Structure 1
């Protein structure tokens, strides 16, 4: 691999070959690195099986500069020409889905089944959606003019590429989340520089490898491997949009930096999603939904059901059914096809979960099942845990809990559940479980979130047709769906005047007659009564037929 491939300076040498080795891992970096070594670690075993050099600040800047040059030619291609590369990518992902899923599982820890369901399937859906619907969404739209003085004009709204898009992506969905943004960015005519989490570098490099294999032109897509300093370096570059997924604190810094330079940002900053279970819900169905919605990916999902509010009338039965199901979950390595719940991403994440649990118990919460670190399985395992006698002000209810802790609260009625659900700085998504769909829709309109699912959970993140994002401290902007594509475009209005022999009635030079005629025209256009319109027709005609303009 030479220095000018589309992934130049992004695939680094392995200091210790501990297993799977990405293709092209021969190019050594230069310059001052943003941080130390970046390790790809198997969370189930603690094994470091791959290491990379962190990219330098100068190299990040060079990636963006090369992407800027490449965008001119890439953006000039027709939509259909760009979409060909996405079709080839989808074919390759489909053919290698098991290989990709195994890589994600090795680096992220999630069960192999979840890697297929939550990483591969949504990615294929996103690519298919933007290939199919992109031409319609981006088709120039005629703008009819309502004002009579503008009837000779023919206006259109057109969409043009932004330029270079910087994406800073997290580790919990290291394949699906970046590609859910990369796909619309590329098909819209932008070039992309991706900075993945330092916990999942190999998954990002797999994306680069696949793009290289389908023949994507040089520098249209690049990966910057490094720690948080590499992300900061990318955010400081002169990009045309920044897409960031991560913590609220870092998201604020990214937004402030971008705002100073008037760079648009899309932020997905996590959530503390509420699940509201009404007394008429199918409890067998709802408890199965809660089980998957909280413990899938070991609870490391922004849209996981992190707080459950159950109407008191069915609270005990709901808890009984749920605990029984939690106790049947199989904890283990993701490579084992029978594993239901894998490890957390790092030991320090286990420490954070233990601290939240200790704080809740110290404040009066009661553990019904789980609650233990499982060092016998590996360094990052923690049992799925159910808590009751939890108060809304405990940290486990107020903070975003990124792990397998599930607090359940009994509420008097739906009104109290809505109050607690909205009493948070977060506003990503929520779910309502009921057999009364009409009531569910009414309650959904009162939840302060970006998405509400009725009788389901989490699935909207992988719904290619629907926009995804939150409100309040959960972020700004939207990804996926039509908005995910349109946010990657610059909107331009083009207006053509087809009549050039009549000068405009508002052009110079001004006089008293013009003043009276423009007043008549306003009355003709916007007067409420028919008589007002009729009596102002003469003045309107004089205005539209004025002579003597400069």
Structure 2
């Protein structure tokens, strides 16, 4: 069955939860059919400011309610999210065009992120004693507080989990949220938010707005005390500059041109299957999906045809069940971008190994998973992010060559290594310039490890989500120091003169006993 499984009546009901509805609504199209899904009202900058003010007012009570209360609300939301998973899967598929299995990845990782944040926030907020500058003479304590109002700007490609991974850690640490959802992902966000409200979250605490990024995204940045952005590198630079102009912090997960290295000791069939998934999950519309494959020459004559055959055999479809391996692109603009990269490469001499055709018989935005070789530096798909079902395979003479080619990019978000030897794969992984490196997998080994930080290096981002680092970005520390009265600290020149010798002895002693 194809089309939209999300009822129009539910879509129309959900948009009433938006914090801003004054601007003219826009049409949101279902990728599987090309038909209008519903009309989405946009916010105005003034409505963003109003939503931010209400969120700030709600944040004080949420902060004061304490960690135990917040944890209970978030864990109830975790259960409701799982109870409502089928409706969430329908929403994610309807808006993004991905397969049901890849939509389930969003639900699974969202639940994991909620559980982790709810159960870990107490340690991040604990503060506590620290060593004073002079033992027995000075004491120090650290108090940790939420930053206040967090602005979250989320993309269309993974609307559920990429929102949850920022929103819930911020809530768990006592903050309020104003989230700008992408038009193509707003229903998934609003449906997830409903579960949190039903779990006891105050509605004003998490406001959702939509609208043009330049206008409404900027308004969110201007209202917030901290900003999380997921999207393109070009837009991320603009958001980061605006945040820096207000002297507020930000975390950015940006673009990638993610490499996969296939070493010459792999199990060929297994590596081909794992590589195909890592390249074409969500039709390649995933920030951490593979777009470059480097294969050692010793295995190339077996791996390359096996990979091409595996990709050619992927089941493409638009059904709301677990039959398809690859779904649809999300928007017309994505289809045009992939087609432009493909036409440019073929026009300049690239060789097509698999795919290469749009499939309007399956859906208006469906594109076959496509594998190219003989890709050269003058081709748009060589260094620029395609963000679609297009991958370039390059044969290299050695692992060293593969590492150099992988690192020769302005991006550094994700990388992958496949080898029959764990030790060899780890040695290669240690030399790759990326925020995440997966061994034996395309991206899920790191993306799903919620206890470990995730983010990019170089032009792929700033800061980290997930792990302790992902919680700490939402708090600020205050140090409280006090003297014990055991000894008066020097206040005049002659008092320093009397104590210098004693202080030097103290410093040498602390170093000798390895006291930090």
Contact 1:22 1:205 in 2 (8 A): no
Q: How does 1:295-314 map to 2 (within 5 A)?
A: 295-314=280-299
Tell me how far apart the structure 2 counterparts of residues 297 and 24 of structure 1 sit (CA, whole Å).
Answer: 25
In 1, the alpha carbon distance for the partners of 2:207 and 2:265 equals 51
Deviations 1:349-376 (A, max 9, x none): 1111111011111221100111011122
Task: Provide the rounded CA distance (Å) in 2 between the counterparts of 1:458 and 1:334.
Answer: 25
- 8 Å contact from structure 1 (residues 299, 404) kept in 2: yes
1:22 shift after superposition: 4.7
Q: Counterpart in 1 of 2:493?
A: 510
Moved more, 394-403 or 222-231: 222-231
| 2:4 paired residue number | none
Report the Cα distance in structure 2 between the residues aligned to 1:174 and 1:529, rounded to whole angstroms: 52
Aligned equivalent of 2:450: 464
Distance change (3 Å), C-alpha of 1:100 and 1:158 = same
Query: Deviation per CA, 1:228-277, whole angstroms, max 9, x where unpaired?
Result: 24543334423111000011111111111111110100001121111001
Report the 3-state secondary structure (helix = DSSP H, G, I; strand = E; otherwise coil) of the residue aligned with 1:171. coil
Map residues 180-219 of structure 1 onto 2, 5 A cutoff: 180-219=165-204
Which of 188-197 and 486-495 deviates more? Answer: 486-495
Is 1:285 aligned to residue 275 of structure 2?
no
Following superposition, the deviation at residue 464 of structure 1 comes to: 1.1
Q: How far apart are the structure 2 equivalents of 1:156 and 1:441?
A: 40
Note if 1:49 corresponds to 2:32.
Answer: no
Q: Report if aligned partners of 1:20, 1:49 keep a CA contact under 8 Å in 2.
A: no
User: What's the CA shift for 1:211?
Assistant: 2.2
**Greater CA deviation, 384-393 or 249-258?**
384-393
Aligned to 2:101: 113
CA contact (8 A) 1:426 1:473 kept: yes
Structure 1 residue 436, shift from structure 2 partner: 2.2
**Matched ranges for 1:63-78 at <5 A:** 63-78=51-66
CA drift of 1:419 comes to 0.7
**2:254 aligned partner:** 269
Offset of residue 140 of structure 1: 2.3
Match of 1:265, SS? strand
Unpaired runs of 5+ residues, structure 2, are 1-6
Aligned to 2:79, which of 91, 101, 113? 91
C-alpha displacement at 1:131, in angstroms?
A: 2.1
Once the 2 structures are TM-superposed, how far is the Cα of residue 105 of structure 1 from its aligned partner?
0.4
Residue 480 of structure 2 corresponds to residue 494 of structure 1: yes
Deviation at 1:522, TM superposition (A): 2.2
Alpha-carbon distance change, 152 to 365 in structure 1, aligned in 2, over 3 angstroms? same
**Stretch of structure 1 that moved more, 296-305 or 372-381:** 372-381
Q: Evaluate the alpha carbon distance shift between residue 26 and residue 516 of structure 1 in structure 2; reply closer, same or farther with a 3 A threshold.
A: closer
For the Cα contact (< 8 Å) 1:37–1:52, is it kept in 2? yes
**How much does 1:527 deviate?**
8.0
Helix, strand or coil: the match of 1:360? helix
Distance 1:436 1:494 in 2: 51
Deviation at residue 24 of structure 1 after TM alignment: 5.8
Distance between the aligned counterparts of 2:511 and 2:172, measured in 1?
50
Q: Which of the residues 118, 127, 130 maps onto 1:143?
A: 130
Matched, 1:23 2:13: yes
Instruction: Report matched runs for 1:278-357 at 5 Å.
Output: 278-357=263-342
Aligned-pair distance for 1:138? 3.0
TM-score (norm 1): 0.87
Q: CA 1:27–1:156 in 2, change beyond 3 Å: closer, same or farther? A: closer
User: Residues 358 and 368 of structure 2 are in contact (CA less than 8 Å); yes or no, is this contact kept in structure 1?
Assistant: yes
Aligned partner of 1:7 in structure 2 is none
Please name the residue that 2:207 is paired with: 222
2:476 is aligned with 1:476: no
**Which residue is 2:3 aligned to?**
none
1:67 Cα offset (Å) = 1.0
| CA distance, structure 2, for counterparts of residue 441 and residue 478 of structure 1 | 22
Partner of 1:539: none
CA gap of 1:266–1:231, structure 2 versus 1, over 3 A, is farther
Alpha carbons of structure 1 residues 105 and 92: separation in structure 2 relative to 1, 3 Å: same
- Give the Cα–Cα distance (whole angstroms) in 2 for the partners of residues 18 and 293 of structure 1: 33
Q: Which SS does the other structure have where 1:372 is aligned? A: coil
CA contact (8 A) 2:293 2:392 kept: yes
Whether the 8 Å CA contact 1:241–1:263 is kept in 2: the answer is: yes
Maintained 8 Å contact 2:20/2:41: no
Q: Give the direction of change, closer, same or farther, for the CA distance of 1:523–1:303 in structure 2 (3 Å limit).
A: same
Residues 224 and 230, structure 1, Cα contact 8 Å, conserved in 2: no
- Partner Cα distance (1:31, 1:325) in 2: 47
Report if the CA contact (8 A) 1:126-1:180 is conserved: yes
| TM score, norm. by length of structure 2 | 0.93
- Unaligned stretches of 5+ in structure 1? 1-16, 534-550
Question: How big is the shift at 1:30?
Answer: 7.7
Aligned counterparts of 1:487 and 1:176: Cα–Cα separation in 2? 18
- Helix, strand or coil: the match of 2:37? strand
Distance 1:343 1:31 in 2: 30
CA contact (8 A) 2:18 2:209 kept: no
Deviation by residue 1:183-209 (Cα, 9 ceiling, x = unmatched): 110010000111111112111211232
**CA distance 1:496–1:209, change in 2 (3 Å):** same
Corresponding residue SS for 1:200? helix
Is the 8 Å Cα contact of residues 22 and 202 (structure 1) preserved in structure 2?
Answer: no
Bigger CA radius of gyration: 1
Further displaced range: 149-158 or 82-91: 149-158
Contact 1:89 1:211 in 2 (8 A): yes
The answer to whether the 8 A contact 1:109-1:334 is kept is no
